[in-house]
Amino acid sequence: MTNPNTDAAATTSADLAELLELLDLERVDDDLFIGQHGDQVMARTFGGQLLGQGVVAAGRTLVKGAPPVHALHAHFIRGGDVTEPIEYHVDRYRDGRAFANRQVTAKQGDEVVFTMLVAFQDNSAGLAHAVEIPEVPYPEELPPLDEHFKGYEETIEAFVNALHPVDIRFANDPAWVMKGTGEKLTHNRAWMKADGVLPDDPLMHVATMAYSSDTTVLDSIITTHGLSWGHDRLFAATVNHSMWFHHDFRFDEWMLYATESPVAAGSRGLGSGRFFKRDGTLATSVVQEALIKYFPPRD
C-alpha cells in the first residue's frame, strides 16, 4: 500500500484534508468514538460520512495484524443532525486470526441514526474470476467536475457547495447536463480518486472509498427515466448500503465507478456499482437501496 509520494501535506486538497480530519475520530473509550461534522453540510448527515466514520470506528478496535475489511452492510435509520456530533458505539462479535466481526451503532442522544456490520477476513488463494472493466476514456481525457457545474450553479446548488474531497471525472454527461439534451441512460461511469495523497493506512483508503461510494450510485435510477437532481422534484433517502472488497487498492489512484440500476419499485430504487482499478481489476462491489420519489409537474 506504500505510495512513493510521501509529501502528503503538499499534495492534499483542503477538502480532502477536512475529510481526513472528519475520519480521525476521537476515542472516548475502547469501543466508543466521537465523530464531528464539517463546515460544509446539507440538511442531514451525508450517508458517505456515516459509512466512512463507521469503518474507522470498527477498524480501530482491532489488534495489530488483524485481517482487512472484506464487507460491510449498513442501514440508515434516521437523518443525522448536522449541528451535533455523532457517537459511534462498537460491539465486538469475533476476533480471530483470519476473521473478525464488528457492529457499529451511530447515535445522537438516545436516537440511533445508523447501524453497520463490518466483516474482516484474510485474503487467500482460491477460485478467481470477474467481469471486465467497461470501455471508457481515461480520466486524463475527461474534464474535471467543476466544468460540469458551469451554468448549473443554481440548479444543483447543494452539490456545488458540498465538500469535494474526491476528484470525479464523468465518462458520460452527469444527470443535470443530460436533462438539457433529453438523453436517458441506464448506467453511469465516473473515474474517482482522493483529491490528494492518502495516508498509507489501508483503513483510510477503505473509509474514503466508502465515503465516495455514496456519490453517483443512485444516478442511474433517475437517468433511466430522463430525470435529474435539481431540475426535477425528487426526494431520495438511502435505506441501506453494502460493500464487498475483493482486492487491495489505493483510493488516491484512479478507479472507475461503474453504476447501474437493475430495478425501481415500491417507491424504492436499487443502485449497484463496481470500483475497478485502472488495470481492470475489480476491487469492490457496491449495492445501495434508497427511498426515491418523483413528483411530476402539475398540468
Q: Is 232 a catalytic residue?
A: no
Q: Are 120 and 65 in contact (CB under 8 A)?
A: no
Would the pLDDT of 6 be above 50? no
Q: What does the pLDDT read at residue 8? A: 42
pLDDT, tens digit, 9 for 90 and up, residues 245-263: 999 999 999 999 999 999 9
Is the CA virtual torsion 172, 175, 179, 185 positive or negative?
positive
User: Structural domains in the chain?
Assistant: 8-123+140-294 (2.40.160.210)
* From 49, 208, 238, 259, active-site residue: 238
Is a pLDDT exceeding 50 seen at residue 2? no
What is the reported pLDDT for 124? 86
| 13-29 pLDDT, tens digit each | 999 999 999 999 999 99
Q: Say whether 2 is catalytic.
A: no
| pLDDT digits 0-9 by tens, 180-233 | 888 999 999 999 999 999 999 999 999 999 999 999 999 999 999 999 999 999
Name which residue leads in pLDDT, 10 or 42.
42
Q: Which one of the listed residues 167, 195, 214, 252 is annotated catalytic?
A: 214
Instruction: Note the helical H segments in the chain.
Output: 14-23, 47-59, 145-149, 157-160, 175-181, 202-213, 219-223
Active-site residue flag, 288: yes
118 or 4: which leads in pLDDT: 118
DSSP state of 98: S
The residue that leads in pLDDT, 298 or 171, is 171
Q: How confident is the model at residue 1 (pLDDT cuts 50, 70, 90)?
A: very low
pLDDT for position 264: 97
Q: Over 90: is that where the pLDDT of 106 sits? A: yes
Q: What is the mean pLDDT of the chain?
A: 94
pTM value is 0.94
Model confidence band, residue 7 (pLDDT cutoffs 50, 70, 90): very low
Inter-residue long-range contacts of 2-10, CB under 8 Å, 24+ positions, other chains counted: 2/200, 3/197, 3/198, 3/200, 3/250, 3/252, 5/197, 7/197, 8/196, 8/197, 8/198, 8/199
